[in-house]
Structure 1
Amino acid sequence: MTDDLPDREPDLPSAFIDIPGVRNFRDAGGVGSLRRGVLFRSGSLHTLSPEGALRLKALGLRTVIDLRSKEELDAFPDERHDLDHESLHLPTLPADRQDTDRPWPEDQVELYPFMAATAGPSLVAAIRRLGAPDALSAVVHCAVGKDRTGLTIAVVQSLLGASEAEITADYLRSNAGLGLLDGPTPYIDETGAERISRPISADLLASSFAWIHDRHDSLPAYLHSHGATEGDLAALRANLSV
């Protein structure tokens, strides 16, 4: 992917769905061959309301893939409100800074290549689950549904034939979904500290894909290096495609 694409969301049909208590919830479909109504993306479900749970039930929710750290889960566990679905904890980032020999990212620019370097096992596990016959519909989320979720959904969309422009346009919708079109906004992290949520840009996602292609030539080769089989990728495409 390249870094010469627009940083603001173009005028596209809205994919956002109002799920009370959940930020940045939207349909990831309609991109490439990914059909609508089977894969959704969002921020965490820790403030999901009973009404929001009813709306998720109406969407046929079967799987929730949570990309957050254990510390985030412990501080802000997802609400269920008696929803009957499988929850998978597949952290994008290492559980401990000592678990990687790479410098821990200090900012967004460093985060995206770092995610590409460390997220392989999480991505493969997510792909395998999404390819299972009983997985759909599914929600993939992190804290606000922007960075970790952005990369995971972009990988799935790429595997389903979406163009770089389509993937980037969908990725950038998080700026609108999180009120970041005009700049950074504060949020409370898992320790209770106030931090700053920053807008995303096309070049951030492009840097993750550049890391993957520079070292593995292709996205499938990268996933194969983390244990994915051709059968896993074929099952994903068969389960999610139009």
Structure 2
Amino acid sequence: MSVFLPNLRDVGGMSADGGLVKPGLLFRSAVPFASDLVPEGITWPPTTIIDLRSSKESVIESGHPLAGAGVEIHKIPLLTELSPGEVPVDNLVDLYQLVLKSNSGRLVQVVETVADSTGATLVHCAVGKDRTGISIAMVLSLIGVPRDEIVADYLETAKNTLDIRMRLAAMYGLDEPVPESNFLRTPVAAIDGVLDLWESHATGATGWFTEVGGTDNTIDKLRDSMVQ
């Protein structure tokens, strides 16, 4: 049975330096299925897909669900540098900080991939909240989207929790939605901690990004392609 792709949204329309974020260029979601429906007006599948899951998470798939002609799949796992015992699944504030500390180089890769895309890009992990939320927040921060709009976008996931629970159940062949848990919540303190870290840098998010390996050229490409 086809259902709408859970937690899918276009970040277009937000305020940015010198204008607005162009619609139709950057999307975020939970893990997609080939049979998923999307709202009318969205060109699907996107040109570029960034999959932030680990190889263990996607082992049940024979290939990416949206792989096909004209689609570039980039696997950039954001938690692989952490052992299972290091992942504080019940404390998302600490988890997000660990992602920034241990996977900053991969976060740079995500931003570079978005900047280099020749069309629409989808960023996803399993539920489209944590790794995806950090990645989208990084891109939006670099193009000058105000903090309150970034936080509001992150919190949108809370409206989609049941659909996400059903998607996780479908991934693992369960008949009922997976139970609610702290892992599925969207605590504002978690994304605030990420933004606080970037803003604490002497030159803000752009300074943090270049300090961990990003370039001004990548930031310029992002702004040129994403801001209208």
TM (norm. structure 1) is 0.75
Aligned to 1:129: 113
Compared with structure 1, are the counterparts of its residues 73 and 234 closer, same or farther at alpha carbon in structure 2 (3 Å cutoff)? same
Say what the alpha-carbon RMSD is for the aligned residues.
3.2
Q: Deviations over 1:93-117 (max 9, x none)?
A: 124529xxx9432422321211221
Query: Any conservation in 1 of the 2:4–2:38 contact (CA below 8 Å)?
Result: no
AA partner of residue 13 (structure 2): G
What are the ranges of 5 or more consecutive residues in structure 2 without an aligned counterpart?
none
Compared with structure 1, are the counterparts of its residues 192 and 96 closer, same or farther at alpha carbon in structure 2 (3 Å cutoff)? farther
After TM superposition, give the deviation of residue 88 of structure 1 in Å: 0.2
Aligned to 1:75: 60
Aligned to 1:25: 8
After TM superposition, give the deviation of residue 78 of structure 1 in Å: 2.9
Paired residue secondary structure (1:174): helix
1:153 equivalenced with 2:136 (yes/no):
yes
Q: Deviations over 1:47-80 (max 9, x none)?
A: 330x638979834611000011111121245312
1:112 to 96, 99, 111: 96
Paired residue secondary structure (2:5): coil
Query: Any conservation in 1 of the 2:7–2:28 contact (CA below 8 Å)?
Result: yes
Compared with structure 1, are the counterparts of its residues 212 and 88 closer, same or farther at alpha carbon in structure 2 (3 Å cutoff)? same
Aligned to 2:224: 238
Aligned to 2:121: 138
Aligned to 2:195: 209
1:64 equivalenced with 2:49 (yes/no):
yes
Measure the CA separation in 1 of the matches of 2:170 and 2:43.
Answer: 30
Paired residue secondary structure (2:88): coil
What are the ranges of 5 or more consecutive residues in structure 1 without an aligned counterpart?
1-18
After TM superposition, give the deviation of residue 20 of structure 1 in Å: 3.5
Aligned to 2:26: 39
TM (norm. structure 2) is 0.80
Measure the CA separation in 1 of the matches of 2:13 and 2:38.
Answer: 24
Give 1:3-14 correspondences, 5 Å limit: none
Paired residues in the alignment total 215
Query: Any conservation in 2 of the 1:22–1:48 contact (CA below 8 Å)?
Result: no
AA partner of residue 129 (structure 1): T
